[in-house]
A and B are shown apart, each in its own frame.
Chain A
């Protein structure tokens, strides 16, 4: 709007317009007000909590982390006993959550892809069965599924004294799956390192093969060569160490098996429940991704004489992955977050350990804050990794 009285100079014009008529200044003031409101509310909540805790003489702070936890944890990837600190107990919890989330994500991706592809199969039975699986798994709350699988594990399997023993060294009972593992030996460490070396070599081989194909048009069987080496070289190392075959056999001693390696019913039930539930969603995502590719492209690829496997690998997947990855990321995050339902069936994940800690120390606010921080960290790192992968897979415009 123009002022009725033309101003004498630019300086006096600026002062003549009141600040609430200036869009720029107004926006700035609103931003400032919003910032103050949010900040003030945050400060109010924080100080109010502090004041209330002090009034009710409830202890605060993170000093308890260095105190002795004095409770036992059933499953642990690192050494832990009741004499360790709360900090270590919580670390055990974090690792247990990571274990189930990591294995769960891998299995879910595989199973989800298989079911998603079968859903599109031309075989009537296969496609109907996949549809049934998806509908059933998607529509039953995951907590119920966990209770169901857990009940199956402890109801259906016999007591350790009558454990099923399908093959030598493998026992199945309501205490879990217990199986023999090779006795610790230097050879196994060496074999592990060789395997890692072969896999890294395979990656470089793949790069070399792609360049060569681009240059001279000849393909190289990278997968077959790598797999062959991955089998052969560790085997050679094993023979070189004099073929150690000693096994650490599980044995029924007193109440339970000792020796060998055991997978607990709690872990199995949680993993199974999460994988089946999430893979139903992943299957739908994969199906949608594949169907986003025009039918004409597949026909064109067939007309060029590509085999079905090549069509999938060279034409369909590179394009559909772009559609698949973003929703897939959120399913992975879902799986990680749902793993906190472990408390209900007795798997000692991070939430379970924190709950015990909260109860023994009474410091609920610190405990819940830690739960939130840890899950946020898990989610953000999964997100960052998947975004990076998504960028790599995105359509590169030339």
Chain B
């Protein structure tokens, strides 16, 4: 009967819509897909940008790879979605991506109002100012009346406004959506100052026509703990992402690198044995293979290696470890025990 057919169809469609609305757990979804969809920055050298061969490179990119290595035992099982500052949270909320590793600052309002959970910080940053050397500006306090290029839709806009308001200085923002267009305008002289997170400034300076013409002022006007984020609602998945970042930090502290990890498997140190899954327990607790941490270190490297490879002193960014050194070296990178 035609009528029954239509009724059945309606019910089936209705049920389908219901399942879409409820959606499965993030971890199950990722496992079913067979890869992680990671939201990254498309144009910041050292953090998230494809190289000339089209291979994604960067600290944030490697963080996403570490999560893939933990879940699948294969660091290549990750696909990257380049996102603008404005798209990133919506992309995560809507389920377009599974994790967001795109130098996003962890703040109270983001954590509470956006329905996100940030995990361990993978880079401690702060907002700074970059100017032309020949202007002879030595401090941000001399910037009264300046035109400032600002990347929109980040905490950057607010920090800059707060800083100038507090210093009782006048300024004019120029706000352009894309990093590339903004840097072009800055290099051409549209603005006197470019403001962003200090790491991004270094990244933008690295691709300037004449990098030596620019200097980054000493003032750091904000705290920017950059951390990967996941959606609310799947604590198991969040644990995995969190401990993937921590595993890289812990490995550096234990002196385990991608080069020596195979020898370390034979280590007599019970802490190392537990960490690498030689004595089992951690993997089961996370719902992962016992080799998960080994896979991260073997395929991606420890935090120090990832840092030096992407943004360290020997790269064109030339960033020092600073706050991002291990706690044993006077930095803030600290991992809870893996037991």
Q: Decide whether A and B assemble into one complex.
A: yes
A310, chain B: closest CB distance, angstroms: 50
Instruction: Using CB atoms, name the residue of chain B closest to A81.
Output: B165
- A78 in the interface (beta carbon within 8 A): no
Considering the complex, which residues of chain B in the window 67-103 have a beta carbon less than 8 Å from any beta carbon of chain A? 85-86, 89-90, 93
Cβ contacts under 8 Å, B164 to chain A: 72
Name the contact of B161 in the complex, choosing from A57, A71, A265, A355 (C-beta under 8 A): A71
A: contact size bracket: 35 or more
Instruction: Using CB atoms, name the residue of chain A closest to B148.
Output: A72
Cβ contacts under 8 Å, B210 to chain A: none
- A287 in the interface (beta carbon within 8 A): no
Cβ contacts under 8 Å, A52 to chain B: 21
- Are B115 and A58 closer than 8 Å at their CB atoms? yes
- A383 in the interface (beta carbon within 8 A): no
Q: How many residues of B contact A (CB 8 A)?
A: 47
B312, chain A: closest CB distance, angstroms: 31
- B188 in the interface (beta carbon within 8 A): yes
Cβ contacts under 8 Å, A256 to chain B: 145-147, 172, 192
- A121 in the interface (beta carbon within 8 A): no
- B19 in the interface (beta carbon within 8 A): no
Considering the complex, which residues of chain B in the window 224-247 have a beta carbon less than 8 Å from any beta carbon of chain A? 231-233
Interface of B is mostly: mixed
Also in contact, A56 and B175, with CB within 8 A (given A154-B190, A359-B152): no
A253–B192 alpha-carbon span in the complex (Å) = 13
- Are B173 and A72 closer than 8 Å at their CB atoms? yes
* Residue interface mask A37-79, B partner, CB < 8 A = 1: 0000000100010011101111100000000001111100000
Name the contact of B21 in the complex, choosing from A48, A74, A174, A362 (C-beta under 8 A): A48
A44–B16 alpha-carbon span in the complex (Å) = 13
Cβ contacts under 8 Å, A155 to chain B: 188
- Are B17 and A44 closer than 8 Å at their CB atoms? yes
| Contact sample, A vs B, 14 pairs, CB 8 Å cutoff | A51-B21, A57-B112, A58-B93, A71-B157, A74-B173, A174-B190, A254-B144, A258-B145, A343-B152, A346-B175, A358-B153, A360-B158, A361-B109, A364-B90
- Residues of A at the B interface (CB closer than 8 Å) are 44, 48, 51-53, 55-59, 70-74, 81-83, 147, 150-151, 154-155, 159, 174-175, 253-256, 258, 265-266, 343-346, 348, 352, 355-356, 358-364
New A-B pairs, 15, CB < 8 Å, besides A55-B233, A82-B162, A364-B90: A57-B112, A72-B157, A82-B165, A147-B181, A253-B145, A255-B145, A255-B192, A344-B177, A345-B181, A355-B177, A356-B152, A359-B86, A360-B109, A362-B110, A362-B113
Q: Sorted from nearest, which 6 A-B pairs have the closest CB atoms?
A: A56-B115, A359-B153, A346-B176, A154-B190, A82-B161, A59-B113
